[in-house]
């Protein structure tokens, strides 16, 4: 593998269709395509707005996009610092096992360090053993004592009525 042909770049508005395609492929892998309600045009408005809180990096191999990571900053009240939260990481199936996912995570770790983040966190589906094993191999620790809760649009609407 010639890593000189590999580069990670901050996404631009011209990458919106590529980002959408990666999101959809991730949803297919996670068996959640029915959850995808966005499109490239909506992504342009959110990801590339002047004061956006969401950031995206794209991995290219031989000038072709092979993966991406989408992240945002959260806040730790106990640490009094921001944290980096990885919302999505995806590498094309045919490009997995080549170190590209690790390089995307390394880039995010550098971004977290450069921004004085107290934490770098993400979630993974319990059934996704390959991802869990990969993350553990990097030294990441599962937060088994925490349970994620979520309100979707319907739940939010019911709550505020």
Q: At 75, is the secondary structure helix, strand, or coil?
A: strand
Tokens 């649009």, residue located? 153
Name, in order, each residue with C-beta under 8 angstroms of 141's C-beta and a sequence gap of 6 or more: none
Residues 61, 71, 85, 135: which is the catalytic one? 135
Encoded tokens for 131: 């991802």
* Residue 61 known to be catalytic: no
HEC string for 78-133: CCCEEEEEEEEEEECHHHCCCCHHHHHHHHHHHHHHHCCCCEEEECCCCCCHHHHH
Of 90, 79, 75, nearest in space to 11 by CA: 90
Of 108, 98, 112, 92, nearest in space to 3 by CA: 98
Catalytic amino acids? 135
């Amino acid at each position: 593998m010639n890593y000189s042909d590999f580069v990670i770049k901050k996404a631009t508005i011209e990458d919106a269709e590529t980002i959408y395609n990666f999101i959809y492929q991730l949803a297919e892998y996670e068996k959640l395509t029915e959850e995808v309600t966005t499109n490239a045009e909506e992504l342009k408005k959110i990801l590339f707005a002047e004061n956006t809180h969401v950031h995206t990096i794209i991995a290219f191999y031989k000038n072709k996009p092979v993966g991406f990571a989408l992240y945002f900053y959260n806040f730790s009240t106990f640490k009094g610092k921001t944290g980096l939260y990885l919302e999505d990481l995806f590498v094309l199936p045919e490009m997995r096992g080549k170190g590209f996912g690790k390089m995307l995570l390394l880039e995010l770790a550098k971004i977290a360090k450069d921004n004085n983040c107290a934490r770098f966190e993400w979630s993974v589906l319990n059934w996704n053993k390959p991802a869990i094993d990969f993350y553990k191999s990097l030294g990441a620790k599962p937060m088994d004592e925490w349970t994620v809760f979520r309100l979707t649009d319907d739940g939010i609407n019911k709550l505020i009525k």
